[in-house]
Every structure is written in structure tokens, then in C-alpha cells.
Chains A and B, each alone.
Chain A
Amino acid sequence: MTSTIAVVGASLAGLSAARALRDQSYDGRIVVIGDEVHAPYDRPPLSKDFLAGTASLEDIALGAPDDEDLGLEWRLGTTAVGLEHLSRSVQLSDGSEVRADGVVLATGARARRLPGSEGLDGVHVLRSLDDAVALREDLAAAGRLVVIGAGFIGAEVAATARKLGLEVTVVETQPVPLAGPLGADMGAVCAGLHADHGTRLLTGTGVARLVGTGRVEAVELTDGTRLSADVVVVGIGATPNIEWLAHSGVALGNGVLTDARGATNTPGVVAVGDCAAAWSAAAERHVRIEHWTNALEQPATAVATLVGAGGPVPTPVPYFWSDQYGARIQFAGSRREGDVARVVEGSCDDRSFLVVYERDGQPVAVLGMNQPRLFTRWRRQLRAAVPTAS
């Protein structure tokens, strides 16, 4: 009997897992289960070109012509609701089940919502294609946008909305946006793009409540300020989609817990992408990474684990990027509190610079704004410097 591998999740991580399986000569049946009805698409443009209306659904489709040859069985528009770990069968929302010899968990994460925002029109999160379409329609008829959360998604939505001609206010509870990933100094520099482009940024203030009946009218802040709003976008992070595994016996924490090769505590089950918290020897804990590059690259290791191919544990250098207000921000490496940021090229005031973060005199991370060439070199150098664990 031919063997079957079920890939649960049909976004970048799931598709990459399916491609990697074929790449690694797996010739059994591959069933890809996705809760959205859409074929795999790329999420980063949802807050940028797709939201602005300059990229179409076809532009952001992830499927390539060669994917036809993969011979995948798609089960789109069906949500996985349970996993029976002994028989390794995945139960689906339509009552059916997929019995498999191996399972790849790639269910991703979902946008966190603001408590009390349910049922209020004009309040959006941005994670899926349907979210983006709904937000785009709403923005077209709106004049004032309030973005809650000045992280990368929030900043990108703000930038796109400015381009569309809206009046935009961004609210952030932290005193400095992006201080977590970039450190306070560089977070402030990147957040400076808002003021450059006429977006109002309010920091160190929380949201008390959303005002409106039926449709949102204003956002009330904890300091009493009332911001009128036709549309509100909530960009306050994401939660891994792992609740469906609660009774599966698969170990869960802030994500599906895996070792460095993607193996869960359950034989024949691996996890990848935004839903997975993989063991990191460097950090000495499980780390859940929501970066696109991770979703692209991690599955190759995990499916090698699944098909028993082994291989070295990769030590990838985390990488992410953000495009806002025409500025290209790129970051690679791992920054910690206490690392020293040094400008090695350009200047922050010119919005064109390269910053290297150093720990004990050694470069550990690099941040570029509008410096793709130099950034690429530094990123390479970091990659070369990371020792490969065996």
C-alpha cells in the first residue's frame, strides 16, 4: 500500500513541506489540508501592494507552474479539528478524516483580536486574503484610519493607507515601537518614518475601548483621548493555531513543541512554520518564529526528519524585511538587550543606513534601511559566522 503524508496547513510552510517531500524523493500520496478556500498565496504583500491594489491575487499566488508535477491532493476549505496520534489520522471539519503515515503540522498563526471588538463593523485584523480584501474595500470609502499596534504589520498598513490618501494615526502601548526586535534606538529611527510621511504616532498609550454601535466611530485611549475613526486596524501580534491539537497528545507550549529538526514528541508527526516552537540550542529554549523565511526554509529539515533522512541541524540566521513608505527595511541575526548598534554606512537621518549590532565586539545582527546590497553582504557574513551544530 502506498504511504500517505498529510500536510495540515496550505500556506507557505505547508506548500514548502510538500515541495520538500518530493524534492527528497518521497513518492507516496501527499494530502494538503487548508482551512482557507484559496490556493496557497503569499502573505507579506497583503499589507503592502495587495492592499494598495497594485498586486492582484495572481501576482501573490505561491503556486508555480512546476507544482503541477508534485501530484498533491488538495483539501482546501476544510479545517483540521483533531489528530488521533495512534492511527495518525487527521479529523476534518466536514466529518471526514485523512489517515496518514506521517503528518506535517503547518497550521500557522492567527491575528490576535482586541477584546470587545467583536461584531463592530470597520474593525479589522490583517492575516488572510479575505481580511485584506475586506480591509481594502473599507479603506476605499474611509477618511480616517486608526492603527492599533506599531509593529511591522501596523506600520505597513499605515504606510499603505497614507498612500491611498487617508488620515492615519498609529497607537502603540510601548514607549518605542519595534524596540523588541530592533532595540529602542533603531526602533525609534524606523518609527520616524511615520512622521516623515504625515502619519501621527502616539506611543506609550493603551486603548481603553472602541466606541460605536454597529460600526466603529472612535478609539478611546487610556489617557482619555478620543480618536475619531472610520476604520480601525488591530495589529497586535498573532497566536499559533494549535488548539485543535489539545487532545492529540502532541506536546504544546507557545506553539507545537519540536526539537531542532522539527520532530514533535509524537512519532511520525513534525511541525513547521508559525505554529511550531522549535528548540534552539543558542537560545536554550523553544522559539516560535513567525518569519516568512523560516516558513520557507524550515520544512526541508522537518520533512527529512519525517522520512528518516536525518542530516545536520541547520542553524539559520533569522531574516525579515518590511517595506514602508517606500523604505526597505531588512534585518538579519539575533539581537539581545545590551548589544551595541553601530552605524557602518549612511545615516539614520537620510533614511539610508546599515547598522551592525555587536556583542563582545562580534557582529550578531544587521539592520539595513534602503541598503540592499550592503545588507546582503552582511547577512552572508553572519551566515558564514554561525557555527553549524551537528
Chain B
Amino acid sequence: MIPVCPTTALPPGEATRVEADEPIAVFNVDGEFYAIDDTCTHQDASLADGWLDGCAVECPLHASCFDLRTGKVSGPPAKTPVRTHRVVVQDGMVYVQAGTTAEDVA
């Protein structure tokens, strides 16, 4: 598991980026944590820099929206989904399990 940060360091509405083989973006949506691949599937933009809108993040570059729960893209220009990753909160720390999709676990 990759440690991300203490829960207190990622308040609701915020996002952060962690380095992994492929960088991962972690979001706090009203107390729920979600993790997806950080790099947009369209071009080279960091989704952690994007705009959080409910359970979706809008890419900061060309505004494709990705669902944080499923990774699905809602509109062009991106054509493919991002991968989701499982988030674990333990003892006030946020961790991600890279390579485990959020849905696998659910």
C-alpha cells in the first residue's frame, strides 16, 4: 500500500497526487476518498489539478470528465477511462492500493 497523507491533510473538495509506477490522484469527496490514475487518458494533464464536481473530476486541460467511482469518461475529447484504485483509511492515514480497482473490492 502506498501512504498518501494524513486524512486531515486532504479536506473535502481537495485532491493530491502520489507518485507510483503511474502517478495516482486521490480525492476527498465529502469525506469519501477516491483514487484514479492521475494522468488524463487524452493528453498530458494531471487530474489532481482538475475541478472536482460531485463524484467526477474535470480535466484541467480540455475538460473531459471522469467518474471517480468507475473511472469512466463522460465526454470528449478523452476516449478511454482511467483506472481506479482502492483507497484504505487506517489510523488517520490515507493509503492507496495501486492496481486494485475500486470496483474489485466493492
Contacts and interface: CB of A to CB of B under 8 A. Distances in A.
B60 A375 contact: yes
Interface in B51-75: 51, 58, 60-63
B60 A376 contact: yes
Given A293-B63, A376-B60, A42 B49 contact: no
Contact of B77 (A296, A375, A376, A380): A296
A376 B76 contact: no
Interface string A375-390: 1110010000000000
A293 B63 CA distance: 9
Interface in A283-331: 292-293, 296, 321, 328, 330
B51 A64 contact: no
A321 B48 CA distance: 18
B88 interface: no
Contact of B60 (A64, A292, A373): A373
A372 B45 contact: yes
A61 to B, nearest CB: 8
Contacts of B43: 45, 49
Given A296-B76, A372-B49, 11 more contacts: A19-B76, A45-B43, A64-B76, A64-B79, A296-B62, A321-B61, A372-B60, A373-B48, A373-B49, A373-B60, A376-B51
Interface string A10-28: 0000001001000000000
Nearest to A64: B79
Nearest to A15: B76
B90 to A, nearest CB: 28
Nearest to A328: B61
B48 to A, nearest CB: 8
Contacts of B61: 321, 328, 330, 372
Interface residues of A, number: 20
Contacts of B51: 376-377, 380
10 contacts: A16-B76, A19-B76, A293-B62, A372-B49, A372-B61, A373-B49, A375-B60, A376-B49, A376-B50, A380-B51
A65 interface: yes
A62 interface: yes
A65 B76 CA distance: 11
B46 interface: yes
Contacts of B46: 372
Interface string A58-92: 00001011000000000000000000000000000
Nearest 9 pairs of A and B residues by beta carbon: A373-B49, A372-B60, A372-B49, A64-B79, A376-B60, A376-B51, A380-B51, A376-B49, A376-B50
A168 B65 CA distance: 38
A65 B63 CA distance: 19
A157 B51 CA distance: 30
A376 B58 CA distance: 9
Nearest to B79: A64
Interface in A310-359: 321, 328, 330
A286 B56 CA distance: 35
A164 B94 CA distance: 43
Nearest to A377: B51
A296 to B, nearest CB: 7
A42 B60 contact: no
Interface in B4-63: 43, 45-46, 48-51, 58, 60-63
Interface in A1-49: 16, 19, 42, 45, 49
A377 B60 CA distance: 9
A19 B77 CA distance: 12
Given A373-B60, A376-B50, A42 B77 contact: yes
A16 to B, nearest CB: 8
Contacts of B62: 292-293, 296
Contacts of A16: 76
B60 A65 contact: no
Contacts of A65: 79
A49 B63 CA distance: 19
Nearest to B53: A380
Contacts of B58: 376
A12 to B, nearest CB: 8
A272 B99 CA distance: 43
Contacts of B45: 372
- Interface core residue of B43, B45, B60, B63 (most chain A CB under 10 Å): B60
A67 to B, nearest CB: 9
Contacts of A376: 49-51, 58, 60
Nearest to A55: B43
